[in-house]
Amino acid sequence: MADTTVTLATYNLVLTGSSSCLSILGGIVIFYTYYKLQAIRNFTRTLLVYLTLADVLVSVGHLIAVIRYSCVYSGTPKTENCTANKTTEYEAICIGQSVLTTFSSLASFLWTSVIAIHIWSSVVIKTHKTEAHYMHVIYHVVCWFTPLIIVSILLHKDYLGEDYCYGTGVWCGIKSNLPQGEIEKWMYIADIGWQLACYLFTCFLYIHLKFYLKLHRRPIKLKSITDKLRNEDVNFVAVWMVIYLLRLWGFARFFITTYSDQNTLQQHNMSRFLNFLLIMQSYGDSGQGFWNFILFCVFDKPVRRYLNTWLFRNSEEPERRRLLRDT
């Protein structure tokens, strides 16, 4: 592949940076409302806090990537060469950002799957074992230590850093100068494989849950089925679709740039399409924290009522205390 130069448009950096900031702010609101509203602190909401922590770390990593890219490549085109072994300025930051985003993305997929298992089991199987203390410990071991092990192996192999291959973006990740086949293998192990598993697994569980409720002619009032869930927990059914819509673009870019030949990739129409996918990915990869805020704060009536009171202060202080007590 001949070397080409790429300078990401300003809007790519703006989209990634703004999406990251919105997700961090959304995550802070989720943490704050969990702390303030005792009535919403069921086990599902606790799991959401862990998921939100992972999503906030993803956004922090991408925000670091935006700042680093602006410093390193400001006014200088980035040369694409899949065999490049160039050390750039702030290389340690690049590796650190790769560690953070790889770890937290994997953790996010795993916590999303855990929440799906918990809600499906509570409604369909009618078991509360998913809330047991030993299960709680297992969740933490699996969701934090699995990504840690994968990232540690990548660090040991010196596989994390700058990517100069076709379609490179703001962020650092798996290096582009690895032996033949290693990039694809580790992309599956450290990212794409987990994404695909998360999409299929959560999609199946939540769709089965909706059909289960309809076949039993039950209104979607989860609290009437089990007192361990709130009615608003039904919003989790939409999580898999949110992840799909946010991550689809990077998922598609990976398969196109990995399995298409050079002539196809360099065609004008394909180049424009890949640029469109990069624009969408620039927003989507950092966006889950913000959209979780929309689902679980804006679309959660008790939380929305509290936030309206807290933000606009149109209600009397006793009303705020009543919301804290009775939501």
Domain ranges of the chain: 4-21+55-226+236-285
pLDDT band at 80 (very low <50, low <70, confident <90, very high): low
Asked if 286 and 16 touch (Cβ cutoff 8 Å), the reply is yes
Asked if 287 and 293 touch (Cβ cutoff 8 Å), the reply is no
Q: What is the pLDDT of residue 5?
A: 47
How many Å apart are CA 236 and CA 218, to the nearest integer?
A: 18
pLDDT band at 133 (very low <50, low <70, confident <90, very high): very high
pLDDT band at 236 (very low <50, low <70, confident <90, very high): confident
The mean per-residue pLDDT over the stretch 119-138 comes to 91
Neighbouring residues of 277: CB distance < 8 A, sequence distance ≥ 6? 249, 250, 252, 253, 256
Output the CA–CA distances (angstroms, integers) from residue 237 to 55, 199, 243, in the order listed: 18, 12, 11
Using CB atoms within 10 A of its CB, is residue 258 exposed (0-12), middle (13-18) or buried (19+)?
middle
CA dihedral 283, 160, 72, 176 (to 10 degrees): -90
Q: What CATH number does the domain located at 4-21+55-226+236-285 have? A: 1.20.1070.10
pLDDT digits (tens, 9 = 90+) for 146-170: 999 999 999 999 999 887 665 567 8
Mean pLDDT of the chain: 85
Comparing 272 with 114, the larger pLDDT belongs to: 114
Q: What is the pLDDT of residue 2?
A: 40
What's the one-letter identity of residue 217? R
For the cut 80, the answer to whether the pLDDT of residue 239 exceeds it is yes
How many Å apart are CA 224 and CA 222, to the nearest integer?
A: 5
Q: What is the pLDDT of residue 259?
A: 84
Between the two ends of the chain, the Cα-to-Cα distance in Å is 60
The mean per-residue pLDDT over the stretch 45-74 comes to 92
Asked if 123 and 225 touch (Cβ cutoff 8 Å), the reply is yes
Bridging pattern class, strands 4-6 and 78-80: antiparallel
How many Å apart are CA 1 and CA 257, to the nearest integer?
A: 13
Q: What is the pLDDT of residue 327?
A: 58
Buried (b) or exposed (e) across 160-171, using 16+ Cβ within 10 A?
bbbbbbbbbbbb
Percentage of residues in the chain with pLDDT exceeding 70?
84
Comparing 227 with 79, the larger pLDDT belongs to: 227
Collapsed DSSP state (helix, strand, coil) of residue 215: helix
What's the one-letter identity of residue 260? S
Q: What is the pLDDT of residue 37?
A: 92
Using CB atoms within 10 A of its CB, is residue 131 exposed (0-12), middle (13-18) or buried (19+)?
middle
Longest dimension (CA), the chain: 69
Query: Looking at the whole model, is its pTM more than 0.85?
Result: yes
